[in-house]
Amino acid sequence: MIDELGRVREFRGGVPAPTAEAEQAARAALTRAIAHPGPRAGRRARVTPGRTRTTRRRVWLLPATVTAAVAVAIVALVLADVLGSGSPGPSPAAAAVFKRLAAVASTQPSNVPGPGQYLYVDSQQANLSEAPEVGCTMLVPERRQIWIGADGSGRLLENTREASFPTAADRAACARAHLLGQAAPGTSDMWFAPDCLSIGPTNLQALPTDPAALRALLDARKIEGGPPGPAEDFVQIGDLLRETDASPALRAAIYKVAATIPGVAVLGPARDHAGRLGIGLAYDGSGARSELIFDPRTSALLGELDTSPSGALSGWAVYLQSRIVNGLPHQPPAPLRPACVNYSGRAVQERDGSTLMIGR
């Protein structure tokens, strides 16, 4: 009798443990990832090192082809919502606004960076950083600039400003827990060799542009993981829209899916944190509100505002620029090569205060 399973169990059982150097290098790589975490879902676009993607990504851009009629139509819908009854379930007014945004989105040009070009997105945001077990909460503002190359190369430059604290008690608690170091201003400058930078919660080019199919993926949490429910749906819609390269057809589908989320309220004309006027849509869950503000002329996401149950501002973002540029603004501190293979197998190098992500 052949005990094939027993033999497999023994097979290569004598492999050596990792060397101290290998373990230390892996720990350092994780520490860097922790120091520059992707967002909690709901805020900035995530940079997911090592995520595999197989197709060339296309890039979304928002030059304005303005149709004044659209803006007028949306304002009319807002008035209808204000005057109408606020029944529970999917708000007809929110659905109408999202459908209108979908129609605008589908008419926007798709602008794919050619060889040597980059999609450049400049945003400002502030994120809540919390350590609940020690009672420390701080709001960390930063400017975030990203250059997303057609070849999967790019750069992510983040400048963090001085953190603020909701109360003096928060500051004291953060100090006691030795967390004030995280509140200091700082710069993170990461450079990515070809195929080393990937953005968004998933490979957007693989997503269906049919709203029903997209809704099914969202419901199954196959776009990104997360708890069930409309609050998370709304968060994930935001994840698909900010700083990502969704095509016009996909953006239209995303808005159509958003139109089916129950409990979304139309806020009407709303200003983002930079004071720009757009149309606000919000989801209130457990007292906390997350608000997305769109430009009705282009369907672009202008900004986001998060409010805690106490009514305090718990986070915001404004997307100030999104355009194609013909190159990176500076030379990388070292040649960006070799390329990654399928967005994995990256090596991390520190050079002149910058971090290089290159292939091995």
Partner 1 sequence: MGAELRTGSAPTDGSAIARSIAAPEAFSAIFDRHFRGVHRYLSRRVGRELADDLASATFTVAFERRRSFRTDSDSAFPWLLGIATNLLRNYRRSEQRLLETVARLGQTGEVFAAGAAGAVGATDDRDLAGALAGLDPDQRDVLFLYAWADLSYEEIASTLSVPVGTVRSRLSRARAHLRSELAQTSATVARKEDR
Beta strand pairing call for 277-285 and 288-294? antiparallel
**Could you say which of 12, 20, 69, 88 contacts partner 1 (CB under 8 A)?**
12
287 exposed, middle or buried (CB, 10 Å; 0-12, 13-18, 19+)? exposed
Residues 91-130 that bind partner 1 (CB under 8 A): 129-130
**Could you say which of 159, 161, 186, 224 contacts partner 1 (CB under 8 A)?**
224
- Verify binding: residue 88, partner 1, rule CB under 8 A: no
- Verify binding: residue 15, partner 1, rule CB under 8 A: yes
Q: How many CB atoms lie within 10 A of CB 198?
A: 24
- Verify binding: residue 158, partner 1, rule CB under 8 A: no
CA distance 227 to 146: 29
Nearest distance from C-beta of residue 313 to partner 1, angstroms: 17
Total chain residues near partner 1 (CB under 8 A): 57
Question: Is the omega angle on the peptide bond into residue 211 within 30 degrees of 0, that is, cis?
Answer: no
Nearest distance from C-beta of residue 35 to partner 1, angstroms: 8
CA distance 339 to 126: 33
**Could you say which of 56, 178, 330, 351 contacts partner 1 (CB under 8 A)?**
178
152: left (phi over 0), alpha (psi -120 to 50) or beta: left
**Could you say which of 180, 325, 345, 355 contacts partner 1 (CB under 8 A)?**
345
Q: Which stretch binds partner 1 (CB under 8 A): 69-77, 98-106, 224-232, 314-322?
A: 224-232
Instruction: Find out whether 250 and 206 touch, Cβ atoms under 8 Å.
Output: no
CA nearest to 207, candidates 237, 248, 250: 250
Q: The tokens of 304 are what?
A: 């986001």
- Verify binding: residue 344, partner 1, rule CB under 8 A: yes
Residues 41-70 that bind partner 1 (CB under 8 A): 41, 46, 48-52
Cα 33 to chain centroid distance, Å, stands at 16
HEC letters along 259-281: CCCCCEEEEEEEECCCCCEEEEE
Q: How many CB atoms lie within 10 A of CB 97?
A: 28
Q: Which stretch binds partner 1 (CB under 8 A): 28-36, 205-213, 242-250, 258-266?
A: 28-36
- Verify binding: residue 334, partner 1, rule CB under 8 A: no
- For 316, phi and psi rounded to 5 degrees? -155, 160
Nearest distance from C-beta of residue 260 to partner 1, angstroms: 23
CB of 116 or CB of 229, closer to partner 1: 229
**Could you say which of 75, 103, 112, 177 contacts partner 1 (CB under 8 A)?**
177
Residues 262-301 that bind partner 1 (CB under 8 A): none
Strands (E), 207-345: 264-271, 277-285, 288-294, 301-307, 313-325
**Could you say which of 34, 68, 69, 83 contacts partner 1 (CB under 8 A)?**
34
Nearest distance from C-beta of residue 19 to partner 1, angstroms: 8
- Verify binding: residue 220, partner 1, rule CB under 8 A: no
Nearest distance from C-beta of residue 255 to partner 1, angstroms: 24
- For 211, phi and psi rounded to 5 degrees? -55, -40
What string marks each residue from 226 to 265 as x (binds partner 1 by CB under 8 A) or -?
x---------------------------------------
- Verify binding: residue 30, partner 1, rule CB under 8 A: yes
CB of 40 or CB of 297, closer to partner 1: 40
- What secondary structure does DSSP assign to 73-128, as a single string? HHHHHHHHHHHS---SSS-HHHHHHHHHHHHHHHHSPB----TT-EEEEEEEEEEE
Nearest distance from C-beta of residue 215 to partner 1, angstroms: 19
Binding site for partner 1 (CB under 8 A): 2, 4-5, 7-19, 22-23, 25-27, 29-31, 33-34, 37-38, 40-41, 46, 48-52, 129-134, 136, 177-179, 221, 224-226, 341-342, 344-347, 360
